[in-house]
Amino acid sequence: MAYRPETQALHAGWRADATNGAVAVPIFQTTSYQFADSEHARSLFGLEKLGFIYSRTGNPTVDVLERRLAALEGGAGALALGSGQAASAFSVLALSQAGDNIVSSTDLYGGTWNLFANTLKRQGIEVRFVDPADPENFRRATDDRTRAYYGETLPNPKLAVFPIAEVATIGRAAGIPLILDNTAAPLLARPFEHGAAVVVYSATKYLGGHGTSIGGVIIDGGHFDWTSQPDRQPALNAPDPALEAEVVVEANRFFALPEADKLTVQMIHSPHFRGYNRAGQEITRGKQDWREQFDIHAEREPWPRTEGMPAWTRLQGPNQWPAAQPRLREVLLAWQAALTEVAIRVVRAFAEALEQSPDALAPIYEGAPNQTMKIIRYPARDADESDQGVGAHKDSGLLTLLLQDEVGGLQVQGKDGWIDAVPVPGTFVVNIGELLELASNGYLRATVHRVVSPEGRDRLSVAFFLGARLDSTVPVLALPPHLAAEATGPTADPDNPLFRKVGENYLKGRLRSHPDVARRHYADLVEQSASC
């Protein structure tokens, strides 16, 4: 049922107190909240459950206000703040960083003008002021570092109506949201219905109405596609540092599980090469890799097994997840999704560097890319033990994004020997994979790399591999002559032949690296290979 604004203003977000039936919203003047037990606290801090932790991040009274204002505006959600200026600042800072810019109407409240012209300037964020009388001024002031457009529905004190629909349309085509200050016209103007992406308010004026309290609010309309052009909105499309930290925490928790729990998801149980391997179970160039690891891929249903189906179709299927650590699934799949977006952006950049369309390789990964991920623990070794954490090899996909801890050991093969890839906080190591080498006819070379087992302490890494669809075939890109002259063809290695059929290329590596899984689930191929 759709309620009239008068009803929403009184009741949205709150109906009555569950204990005594009071319909007025109580003021919860508290900083802290009682947890039922340590597990309840963990689930709240781990974001597994919704609830209140500390009033800086959420308060029941403020929560009702946010729900009520989102309902009145027709938005998806809201964030209440201490003032309207805080709302304006937060809305811009959430999308921008030093070196970025926003394009703003010249018709602004004086405090907002000062915020934009002076305060944000000191943060390295440029605000480009344009006359909104001609909406095309917004387009003309836009460049590749523009993160948002900003205007006021009825600016104070000029009261010249802002062209919401025209500016919003220009912005949406470029992946740029229109942030609109609707302080002067709540309910009278409906910015979301005209294309605005975000609405901000000083709740001190018409929303409050009594001149007794200062407040501000940001409301998201829920209709702007923040992921359609990820390069335009990097703040919302790059991996969240909090998620990165949680991945590391969950990885360490997994490796700390009792061995019996880890063995319930041992890879040998999976024909899809998903699951846990003890140190020494994976093989590179005929030698054991001294690393303990857990592999996951995209969560997909297995292909039906019918006679004549290629062997590589057996690779697709579900992951194994340890019952003793239910949070692991959610965290790793969230990381996989975030890294997929980043990796596709890097592949598009490689295509442009090869003077191709950014989407030149999209036909082989769109829809169902082959996403592989490993959490890896390299146990500390003594000086007299094997130092092969993982032997020299190339990755079989398009590219790899590797997150390492502070313990070194990763090395990349250069012209004059091995080069240490020294860990740098806040960065990924990017490896070119075999499929990019094939697509560029050898202009790009797949990164040969290895890991030397650490002495004295363990090493943790998290590797994400973006591959093409298993049913695709890698094309040879038509490079311009000056690049084609340097493309001498893929590396010829009889011990590691490269196949353009993606499924075959990937299966080749899995069978070679995991002989125990191959013997159990691909015995027909093992026997065929032995008889050749």
Write out the chain's pLDDT in tens, 532 residues.
577 776 666 666 666 676 666 777 778 889 999 898 888 887 787 666 778 888 888 888 888 889 889 988 999 999 999 999 999 999 999 999 999 999 999 999 999 999 999 999 999 999 999 999 999 999 999 999 999 999 999 998 888 999 999 999 999 999 999 999 999 998 889 999 999 999 999 999 888 878 888 999 999 999 999 988 888 998 887 777 888 999 999 999 999 999 999 999 999 999 999 999 999 889 888 889 999 999 999 888 898 888 888 989 999 999 999 999 999 999 999 999 999 989 999 999 999 999 999 999 999 999 889 999 999 999 998 777 788 999 999 998 999 999 999 999 999 999 899 999 999 988 899 999 999 999 999 999 999 999 999 888 899 999 999 999 999 999 999 999 999 999 989 887 777 777 889 999 889 888 989 999 999 999 888 766 555 4
**Tokens for 497?**
């032949």
Active-site annotation holder among 68, 100, 109, 289:
109
The predicted structure's pLDDT at residue 532 = 44
Mark residue 485 as left, alpha or beta (left: phi above 0; alpha: psi -120 to 50; beta: remaining). Answer: alpha
Question: Active site residue: 68, 139, 147, 181, which one?
Answer: 181
Q: Is 54 one of the catalytic residues?
A: no
Whole-number Cα distances in Å, 245 to 51, 304, 408, 416? 21, 38, 19, 36
H/E/C letters for each residue in 331-383? Answer: HHHHHHHHHHHHHHHHHHHHHHHCCCCCCCCHHHHCCCCEEEEEEEEECCECC
Burial class (CB in 10 A: 0-12, 13-18, 19+), 217: buried
**Residues 495/462, Cβ–Cβ less than 8 Å:** no
**3 labelled catalytic:** no
Assign 127 to helix, strand or coil. Answer: strand
Among 239, 341, 337, 253, smallest CA distance to 294 is for 253
Q: Is 179 exposed, middle or buried (0-12, 13-18, 19+ CB in 10 A)?
A: buried
Asked if 340 contacts 371 with a C-beta cutoff of 8 angstroms, the reply is yes
* Angstrom distance (rounded) from CA 70 to CA 67: 5
Q: Cα separations (Å) of 509 from 107, 354, 514, 529?
A: 62, 27, 9, 14
Type and span of the H or E element at 30:
none
The one catalytic residue in 4, 15, 56, 305 is 56
pLDDT (0 to 100) of residue 184: 92
Active site residue 109: yes
pLDDT at 14: 64
Q: What token pair was written down for 273?
A: 């090469």
Q: How far apart are CA 267 and CA 518, in angstroms?
A: 11
pLDDT at 479: 96
Q: Which of 141, 131, 139, 127 is CA-nearest to residue 171? A: 139
Whether 262 is a known active-site residue: answer no
Express the helix, strand and coil content of the chain in percent, nearest 5 each: 35, 20, 50
Q: Are strands 287-288 and 283-284 parallel, antiparallel or unpaired?
A: antiparallel
Question: From the DSSP assignment, how many helices (H) and strands (E) are in the chain?
Answer: 18, 19
Residue 25, pLDDT score: 75
